[in-house]
Chains A and B, each alone.
Chain A
Amino acid sequence: MTDAVPALSLAGVNVAYDGYRALADVSLNVAAGEAFGLVGESGSGKSTLLRAIAGLAPVTAGTLRVEGETLTGQRRGRAFHARVQMVFQDPYGSLHPRHTIDRQLLEPLAIHGVDATSPRILRALDEVGLGAGFRFRYPHQLSGGQRQRVAIARALILEPAILLLDEPTSALDASVQAEVLNLLEQVRAERGLTYVLVSHDLGVVTHMCDRLAVMHGGRIVEELPADDLVAGRIGTDYTRKLMVASAGFRRGSDGHGHADE
């Protein structure tokens, strides 16, 4: 694509859980500063791909590179964690239920030996639109949207360059989703972050991303610019079927059919 080193580069990556092949020969390049989307239905391997990059899934073959550096095995060095962070789908499960927000944000700083934690925590809370008043609350005292903001603050507090977003808004109400998506866009614009966004929602992906890959059965079916998808310049039947399905229900079609029914 470009001669610049891609932020993220995957070649022939395979992931297997107990013999089940969750990812099959996935190759992918994400340029620095790009917002890249991964779309697919459940079991398509889109979340597994993110977890493989993060070192949370067993990679059995292939190479992964972050900013040109090859990652080996499931171990990731400290430098990796400072550069790549992740936001999880379920805001109710991704925050430790017995730690205050303060402690959730303090932990990454403590692990990486950062001093002057207090101002950084306050700045991080401020950046995601939560005031200092939230600092000493527990997750159960927060709404889903507020929890997801905390999760984003936690991911950003180490100032990474790449953010992996695993269905960051699918557990949220539509109006809250809009707020969180706006926040993510704003943060990206301010910091020039690279995003890899996983979602089942074509609306969210085309809204957030420049390019996207459609996944099915552990493979990448098609890779295309978001504008092409919107304009209907689609190469495969599977992508077309997804596009039709996400347009909503039509009386008379029984779901098997295509747009021309």
Chain B
Amino acid sequence: MTPMLTVEDLAISFATRTGRFEAVRGVSFTLGRERLGIVGESGSGKSLTGRAIMGLTPPSADVTARRLAFDGIDLLTAPPAQRRALRGARLSMVLQDPKYSLDPVMSIGRQIVETLRTHERVSRREARERALDMLAAVQIENPARVFDLYPHEVSGGMGQRAMIAMMLIANPELLIADEPTSALDVTVQLEVLGILDRLVTDRGMGLIFISHDLRLVSSFCDRVLVMYAGRVVEEIAAAELAHARHPYTRGLLACVPVPGHDRHPLPVLDRRPEWRL
């Protein structure tokens, strides 16, 4: 099977007053129709990696890679128009907080319809039908009502479902979800993950799930990349997580308090300088 996405030696850096800051260094992986988790703490470069694939890095970022290809298309050399056409239609991204990623002055339904009509030639009526179907697919109980609501009129969980509906309406082949549930309450979080899980399975999408929560990611994904200081320190099958080799991965797993595991004090990470190398 040829991979859908190939990332080879991806590097992202910023010019700062004190010199060049290398936020991502030498990241390589491939992705088929599977779920890949990228885990790391703040500043690990996990979000930038996702954004670089989408072509959404800030203008000050300098992105280089030996190869960054989606379905044979070299993303770094592709003209902006082609990248725009890819975004939304074949590549899609769900961000952490729906409050900031939905347009506040446009109703939810219209945003979904607009997204669909940007990428596909469909009639207004058909677009509306499909948007309603999509809202139903993300388990919104009364799609017709939510269709006309504005983002501030819905709860966080509802907003995130609407966001997912919008991102999946054009049937992308690859979905990048950057902390899609971190702003949500635990019970809502599970519902949203359940929806995401089923849609990815049913539609055979590839998924990159970016999160700070190693346990959550490993319960959701097939494979996990653990990032630290801009590098991938370990790549591991989610089922094998208990046998992680890298001390950072193990430390990250151990330091989270879990009900029923009495450890006082909690083990803390001893960050070693050589992990950065």
Interface assignment of B219: CB less than 8 Å from any CB of chain A: yes
Query: A203-B256, A255-B194 given as contacts; is B186 within 8 A of A246 (CB)?
Result: yes
Whether the pair B197, A251 counts as a contact (CB closer than 8 A) is yes
Type the 1/0 row for A236-261, where 1 means its CB is closer than 8 Å to any CB of B.
Answer: 00000111011011110111100000
In this complex, what residue of A is CB-closest to B257?
Answer: A207
Q: Say how far A183's CB is from chain B's closest CB, in angstroms.
A: 9
Q: Decide if A242 touches B256 in the complex (CB within 8 Å).
A: no
Contact B185 A42 (CB under 8 A): yes
A54 within 8 A of B: no
Contact, CB under 8 Å: A178 / B256: yes
Check: B233 CB closer than 8 A to any chain A CB. Answer: no
Smallest Cβ-Cβ distance to B201: which chain A residue = A251
Size range of the chain B interface in the assembly: 35 or more
**Contact bitstring A167-206, B, C-beta under 8 A = 1, else 0:** 0000001111111011001100000000000001111101
Contact B260 A230 (CB under 8 A): yes
* Also in contact, A242 and B186, with CB within 8 A (given A203-B257, A250-B219): yes
User: Which residues of chain A have C-beta atoms less than 8 A from B237's C-beta?
Assistant: none
* CB-based nearest A residue for B189: A245
Instruction: Contact check, A200 vs B186: say whether CB atoms are below 8 A apart.
Output: yes
Interface membership of B277, Cβ < 8 A: no
Question: Is the C-beta of B259 less than 8 angstroms from some C-beta in chain A?
Answer: yes
Asked whether, in the complex, the Cβ of A41 is within 8 Å of the Cβ of B186, the reply is yes
Verify if A229 is at the interface (C-beta below 8 Å from B).
yes
Contact code string A108-131 (vs B, CB < 8 Å = 1, else 0): 000000000000000000000000
Contact B269 A178 (CB under 8 A): yes
How far is B42's CA from A41's CA once the two chains are assembled, in angstroms?
24
> Which B residues are in CB contact (< 8 Å) with A245?
186-187, 189-190
Residues of A with C-beta under 8 A to B213:
174
A248 neighbours in B (Cβ, 8 Å)? 215-216, 219
CB distance from A130 to the nearest CB of B (A): 16
Report whether B191 and A181 are in contact in the complex, using a CB–CB cutoff of 8 Å.
no
Distance in angstroms from A175 CB to nearest chain B CB is: 4
Considering the chains assembled together, what is the distance between the CA atoms of A230 and B192 in angstroms? Answer: 26
Interface-central residue, B194, B212, B257, B263, by most chain A CB under 10 Å: B257
- A178 near B41 with CB under 8 A, answer no
Select the residue from A173, A179, A202, A255 with max chain B CB neighbours within 10 A: A255
Across-interface contacts of A144 in B (CB, < 8 A): 42
Q: A139-176 toward B: CB 8 Å interface, digit per residue (1/0)?
A: 00000100000000000000000000000000001111
Q: Complex formed: what's the CA distance from A173 to B265 in Å? A: 17
A contact residues around B191 at 8 Å (CB): 254-256
State whether B266 touches A202 (Cβ < 8 A): no
Q: How far is the CA of A204 from the CA of B258 in the complex (A)?
A: 7
Interface size bucket, A side?
Answer: 35 or more
Given contacts A248-B215, A249-B219, A254-B195, contact A181 B185 (CB under 8 A): no
Q: Residue B257 contacts which of A175, A179, A181, A249 (CB distance < 8 angstroms)?
A: A181
| Residue of B187, B188, B190, B267 with highest tally of chain A CB at under 10 A | B190
Select B252's contact among A175, A250, A254, beta carbons within 8 Å.
Answer: A175
Who on chain B is nearest to A254 by CB? B194
How close is A32's CB to chain B, nearest CB, in angstroms? 21
Q: Which residues of A contact B139 (CB under 8 A)?
A: 254
B residues near A253, Cβ cutoff 8 Å: 190, 194
B252 neighbours in A (Cβ, 8 Å) = 174-175
Interface residues of B in 259-276 (CB under 8 A from A): 259-260, 262-269, 271
B29 within 8 A of A: no
Per-residue B-contact encoding for A195-239, CB less than 8 Å = 1, 0 else = 000001111101110000000000000000000011000000000
A174 engages B41 (CB within 8 Å): yes
Which B residues from 220 to 248 make CB contacts under 8 A with A?
Answer: 220
Q: How far is the CA of A175 from the CA of B255 in the complex (A)?
A: 6
B219/A186 in contact, CB under 8 A = no
B211 shortest CB reach to chain A, Å: 11
Contacts A42-B156, A178-B267, A186-B265 known; 15 new A-B pairs at CB < 8 A: A42-B185, A173-B41, A174-B255, A175-B251, A175-B271, A177-B255, A179-B268, A185-B264, A203-B258, A206-B257, A242-B186, A243-B259, A245-B186, A248-B215, A254-B191
A contact residues vs B (CB 8 Å cutoff):
41-42, 144, 173-179, 181-182, 185-186, 200-204, 206-208, 229-230, 241-243, 245-246, 248-251, 253-256
The 7 closest A-B pairs by CB, nearest first: A255-B190, A207-B257, A255-B191, A254-B194, A178-B255, A41-B185, A173-B41
What are 13 sample pairs from A and B whose C-beta atoms fall under 8 A apart?
A: A42-B185, A174-B256, A175-B41, A175-B269, A177-B256, A181-B265, A185-B265, A203-B259, A230-B260, A249-B193, A249-B219, A255-B189, A256-B194
